Amino acid sequence: MSLFGANTGFGSGGTGVFGTTTTDSHNPMKDVEVTSPPDDSISCLAFSPPTMPGNFLIGGSWANDVRCWEVQDNGQTVPKAQQMHTGPVLDVCWSDDGSKVFTASCDKTAKMWDLNSNQTIQIAQHEGPIRTIHWIKAPNYSCVMTGSWDKTLKFWDTRSPNPMMSLQMPERCFCADVVYPMAVVATAERGLIVYQLENQPSEFRRIESPLKHQHRCVAIFKDKQSKPTGFALGSIEGRVAIHYINPPNPAKDNFTFKCHRSNGTNTATPQDIYAVNAISFHPVHGTLATVGSDGRFSFWDKDARTKLKTSEQLDQPITACCFNNNGNIFAYASSYDWSKVQSQYTSGSVISGKSPSPAAVVH
């Protein structure tokens, strides 16, 4: 909160009013800063689905809270509501009808937050902190999928205290993504498992990881017919792998690219390599956004294999990002991600900017 006071008049709604002479590294892109951000690092962001009118942004943080803002068309943000867990919140997601929000926390529980009544109930319990939570809407069932550091993936009907199904994983779950009928989970020790969700969730394939280091984030992309066809996997080593599930030619179609590294042209001095903290795909154009520990975000076109845009460097790492349902708004959270292993001033901020359309961004 004190971040607003410390800033030289940058509050919400200020878009380039104060000229470009002062390089403000807190919000160098002059995007709209969200009011009342959480007091600690933001771990996850999620925009409301298209079934709901308006844009609502949910953010979970290490201050044990989950906050909801309404993002209006003029860019202004209005804080709406807040709920608490007893441990840091690691992941949030919306139900498909936009009436409920699911939150997963280090206190080993997951809660369902009914926005209309502003009540929460616990819907899941694990033996370890829950790292990922996703809502699955299948024709014959709906459930919540939770991935945890206790090496299990559990599926919950929100009405019952026992899981519908529990799948064992080889290692702790680090990140996951769901686009029906496909789910991808990346675990510790470079584990990568794809699940198919038709009829009931089952393991589809275990994939040998294309990356050499720890997995950090994963996001599924769709093909032209809006069917999930592959995923992007980010690691701590400033690299993202694009992997298709059934490509015509795996050696050519699958590739990796380096990102979030310093020292682009100068190969003489050692490069600084930053973790890719989150990946998000634009719902309409299929371009992907990556955010990293270096405090930058970048947009890429994976089919043309080009980088579209990189932002200026923010003063803190960017820990989460999210596109809204029609792709007009891109929200990113600037807060410490523990990449330097020690505690730092962790107050975070959430910034939402106009999502650049590909035509405008190509240089």
Partner 1 sequence: MTVCNFFLQGRCRYGEKCWNEHPRDERGGDYRGTQQPSRGGYGNRVWINPSQRTGGDYVQPSSFSRDGDNDWSRGGGGADVKSSDFSFSGQNRFSALASHSHSDKDVQSPTDDVDTIQKDMEIWQTSGQWPFSCYSVLPGKLSGFVEVSPEELRLEYYTGRASGDLQAYMNSVQQLADQWRSRVQELRTMSSSTRISVISELNDPSSQTSTHEFGSSASGFGTTSSSSSSSSGFGAGGLFWIQSEILGNGTNYISDFFLIYPHASGFGSGAFAQPPSGFSAPAASAASFSFAGPAADNKSSAAAASSSVSAFSFKPPPGGSSGPADGGGFGQSSTRAADTGLFSAHSDLTAEELKEFTAKRFTLGQIPLKPPPADLLVV
The footprint of partner 1 (CB under 8 A) covers 43, 62, 87-88, 90, 106, 128-129, 131, 149-151, 171-172, 174, 188-190, 208-214, 216, 235-239, 241, 243, 248-259, 261, 264-265, 267, 270-275, 303-307, 310, 337-339, 341, 343, 362-363
Nearer to partner 1, 197 or 320 (CB): 320
Nearer to partner 1, 140 or 342 (CB): 342
Taking alpha carbons only, the member of 252, 192, 182 closest to residue 221 is 182
CB of 255 to partner 1, least distance (A): 5
Nearer to partner 1, 62 or 94 (CB): 62
Nearer to partner 1, 159 or 363 (CB): 363
Check if the beta carbon of residue 55 is closer than 8 Å to that of residue 48. Answer: yes
Nearer to partner 1, 10 or 174 (CB): 174
How many Å apart are CA 319 and CA 295, to the nearest integer?
9
CB of 215 to partner 1, least distance (A): 9
Give Cα 21 to chain centroid, integer Å: 32
Through-space distance between the first and last CA atoms of the chain, rounded to whole angstroms: 36
CB of 253 to partner 1, least distance (A): 8
CB of 123 to partner 1, least distance (A): 21
C-alpha gyration radius of the chain: 19
How many Å apart are CA 310 and CA 255, to the nearest integer?
20
Q: How many CB atoms lie within 10 A of CB 279?
A: 25
CB of 334 to partner 1, least distance (A): 16
CB of 44 to partner 1, least distance (A): 11
Q: Which residues of 281-297 are buried (b: 16+ CB within 10 A; e: fewer)?
A: bbbebbbbbbbbbbbbb
The contacts of residue 264 (CB under 8 Å, 6+ apart) are none
CB of 59 to partner 1, least distance (A): 16
Nearer to partner 1, 96 or 301 (CB): 301
Distances (CA, A) of 105 to 32, 78, 298, 326: 28, 25, 28, 28
Nearer to partner 1, 5 or 248 (CB): 248
Strands 202-206 and 215-222: unpaired
CB of 262 to partner 1, least distance (A): 9
How many Å apart are CA 250 and CA 262, to the nearest integer?
30
Nearer to partner 1, 25 or 306 (CB): 306
How is residue 87 annotated by DSSP? S
Phi, psi of 360 (to 5 degrees): -75, -20
**Order of strands, sheet of 329-334, starting from the edge strand that comes earlier in the sequence:** 32-33, 349-354, 329-334, 318-323
The first and second tokens of residue 203, run together, are 């393991």
Nearer to partner 1, 180 or 221 (CB): 221
CB of 219 to partner 1, least distance (A): 17
Q: Token pair 């390089």 is at which residue? A: 23
